[in-house]
Amino acid sequence: MRTDDLRINRVRPLLAPAILSEDIPLTDAASTVVANGRRTLEAILDGRDTRLALIVGPCSIHDPDAALEYAQRLKALADVVADQLFVVMRVYFEKPRTTVGWKGLINDPDLDGSYHINKGLRLARQLLADVAAIGLPAGTEFLDTTFGQFYADLISWGAIGARTAESQIHRELASGLSMPVGIKNRTDGNVQVAVDALLAASKSHLFPSLTKEGAPAILETTGNPYCHVVLRGGSESGPNYGAAAVAATRALLANAGLPERVMIDASHGNSEKDPLRQADVVDAVLRQKLAGDRTIRALMLESNLLGGRQDLAARPLKRGMSITDACLSFERTDTLIRDLANCLARR
**Model pLDDT for residues 80-127, shown as the tens digit of each residue:** 999 999 999 999 999 887 777 899 999 999 999 999 999 999 999 999
Query: What pLDDT shows up at residue 98?
Result: 75
Share of the chain above pLDDT 90, in %: 96
pLDDT band, residue 346 (cuts 50/70/90): confident
Quick one: residue 238, left, alpha or beta (phi over 0 = left, psi -120 to 50 = alpha)? left
pLDDT band, residue 347 (cuts 50/70/90): confident
Cα 308 from Cα 303, distance rounded (Å): 9
CA 276 to chain centre: 20
The full set of domains in the chain, from first to last, is 17-345 (3.20.20.70)
Tell me the CA distances in angstroms from 88 to 113, 129, 164, 254, one per residue in order: 30, 14, 22, 28
CA 309 to chain centre: 19
State the helix-helix crossing angle for 168-176 and 192-201, rounded to 10 degrees: 50
Omega prior to 259 cis, within 30 of 0: no
Cα 347 from Cα 337, distance rounded (Å): 16
CB count within 10 Å of CB 176 equals 20
Residue type, 234: G
CB count within 10 Å of CB 177 equals 20
Mean pLDDT of 276-294: 97
Instruction: Report pLDDT digits (tens) over 143-183.
Output: 999 999 999 999 999 999 999 999 999 999 999 999 999 99
Largest Cα–Cα distance of the chain, in whole Å?
Answer: 75
Cα 68 from Cα 128, distance rounded (Å): 9
Cα 19 from Cα 33, distance rounded (Å): 23
Instruction: Report pLDDT digits (tens) over 26-81.
Output: 999 999 999 999 999 999 999 999 999 999 999 999 999 999 999 999 999 999 99
